[in-house]
Amino acid sequence: MESEFSKGDKVEFIVNGKKKKGIIVTVDTYFQLADVTYDIYVAKDECLYKHFDEPSILGRVRWW
């Protein structure tokens, strides 16, 4: 399965019902056997959010 987003993309996504903005640091493809997931770092929270699927990502953002 091909990923829609790439490492380094700045994205907006939903976590616990709240919108967050961060940068994709890892693209997990699980050897092309399952859906692609992403690890996204949010500097404002100083937190790495792991294993977010594509439907959770609203899209790319230019800057925040």
Indicate the number of domains in the chain.
1
pLDDT digits (tens, 9 = 90+) for 4-27: 899 999 999 999 999 999 999 999
Range of the domain at 39: 10-60
Nearest to 3 by CA among 39, 25, 35: 35
The alpha carbon of residue 46 and the mean position of all alpha carbons in its chain are separated, in whole angstroms, by 15
* Close Cβ partners of 36 (under 8 Å, ≥ 6 residues apart): 1, 2, 3, 4, 27, 28, 29, 53, 54
Does some domain include residue 27? yes
Radius of gyration of the chain (CA): 11
pTM of the model: 0.87
Q: Tell me, yes or no, whether 2 lies in a domain.
A: no
Q: 30 versus 17: which is more confidently predicted?
A: 17
Asked if residue 24 belongs to a domain, the reply is yes
